[in-house]
Amino acid sequence: MSDSFRAKVDIALTVNGEPVEARVPAGRHLIDFLRLDLGLTGAHASCEHGVCGACTVRVDGDAVRGCLTLAAQLDGSEVWTVEGLSDTAEIRVLQDAFVARNALQCGFCTPGMLVAAQELLHRRPIPDRAAIREHLSGNYCRCTGYEAIVDAVEDTLRKCADEDMA
Amino acid sequence: MKAQAGGYVRATDVSHALRMLAEADGAGRVLAGGQSLIAAMNMRLSTGDMLVDISRLAELSGVTDDGDCLRIGALTRHVDIGRDPLIRRFAPLLSEAVDHIAHAAIRNRGTIGGALAHADPAAEFPAAILCLDATLHIQGPDGTRSVAAGDFFVDVFTTDLQEGEILIAITLRKCAQGEHQVLEEVARRSGDYALAGLCLIRRSSGHRVALLSVGATPVLATGAMAALDTGTVDEAVAALKTEIDPPSDTQASASYRKHLAGVLLRRAVARIEGGQP
Ligand SMILES: Cc1cc2nc3c(=O)[nH]c(=O)nc-3n(C[C@H](O)[C@H](O)[C@H](O)COP(=O)(O)OP(=O)(O)OC[C@H]3O[C@@H](n4cnc5c(N)ncnc54)[C@H](O)[C@@H]3O)c2cc1C
Ligand code: FES
Ligand code: FES
- Nearest residue on chain B to A53, judged by CA atoms? B105
Q: What's residue A122's pLDDT?
A: 84
The DSSP result for A46-97, as a single string, is -SSSSSS-TTEEEETTEEEEGGGSBGGGGTT-EEE-HHHHHHTTTTHHHHHH
The residues pairing with B207 across neighbouring beta strands, listed in sequence order, are B202
| Cα B140 from Cα B156, distance rounded (Å) | 22
Residue predicted with more confidence, B175 or A166: B175
> What residues contact B199, with CB distance under 8 A and at least 6 apart?
B93, B97, B127, B128, B130, B131, B181, B182, B183, B208, B209, B210, B211, B212, B268
pLDDT tens column, A32-82: 999 999 999 999 999 999 999 999 999 999 999 999 999 999 999 999 999
With a 6 A CB cut-off, is A50 part of the ligand 1 pocket? yes
pLDDT tens column, B115-129: 999 999 999 999 999
Q: What's residue A2's pLDDT?
A: 56
pLDDT tens column, B88-144: 999 999 999 999 999 999 999 999 999 999 999 999 999 999 999 999 999 999 999
Q: With beta carbons less than 8 A apart as the criterion, state whether B122 and B156 touch.
A: no
Q: What is the pLDDT of chain A when averaged over all its residues?
A: 95
Q: Give the best residue of A8, A10, A69, A70 to mutate against chain B (max B CB count within 10 A).
A: A70
Q: Are B51 and A1 inside 8 Å of each other by CB?
A: no
Which ligand places an atom closest to the C-alpha of A46? 2
Q: With beta carbons less than 8 A apart as the criterion, state whether B110 and B102 touch.
A: yes
User: Among A19, A75, A84, A20, which residue's Cα sits nearest to residue A57?
Assistant: A84
Q: What's residue B190's pLDDT?
A: 85
How close B121 gets to chain A, by Cα (Å)?
19
* Sheet with B196-203: strands ordered across: B180-186, B196-203, B206-212, B219-220
| Cα B123 from Cα B8, distance rounded (Å) | 27
Residue whose CA lies nearest to ligand 1 atom number 20: B115
Per CB-CB distance under 8 Å, the chain A contacts of B4 are 27
Q: What's residue B277's pLDDT?
A: 67
Q: How far is the CA of B79 from the centre of ligand 2 (A)?
A: 19
- ipTM over the 0.90 cut-off: yes
The DSSP result for B66-98, as a single string, is ETTEEEEETT-BHHHHHH-HHHHHH-HHHHHHH
Best residue among A46, A139, A141 to mutate for probing ligand 2's pocket (most ligand atoms within 8 Å of CB) is: A46
The residues pairing with B194 across neighbouring beta strands, listed in sequence order, are none
The CA–CA distances, whole Å, from A77 to A15, A72, A135 equal 8, 11, 24
Q: Are A27 and B53 inside 8 Å of each other by CB?
A: no
Is this structure's pTM higher than 0.90?
A: yes
Q: What's residue B276's pLDDT?
A: 67
